[in-house]
Amino acid sequence: MGNPAVVGLAGFGLTTLLLQFHNLGLIGLGPVLAMGFAFGGLAQFIAGFMEQKMGNNFGFAAFTAYGSFWIGLGIIWLLNNAGIYPSSGTDVGFYLVA
**The predicted structure's pLDDT at residue 8:** 92
Q: Provide the H-helix boundaries in the chain.
A: 5-23, 29-37, 44-53, 57-82, 89-97
**Number of H-type helices and E-type strands within the chain:** 5, 0
What's the number of domains the chain is made of? 1
pLDDT for 35-54, tens place per residue? Answer: 999 999 999 999 999 999 99
Which residue from 5, 12, 7, 6 is spatially nearest to 56, judged by alpha carbons? 5
The per-residue pLDDT of the chain, averaged, comes to 93
Calculate what percentage of the chain has a pLDDT beyond 70: 100
Confidence of residue 33 (pLDDT cuts 50, 70, 90): very high
**The predicted structure's pLDDT at residue 90:** 92
Q: Which domain holds residue 18?
A: 5-97
**The predicted structure's pLDDT at residue 2:** 82
Report the alpha-carbon distance of residue 79 to residue 65 in Å, rounded: 21
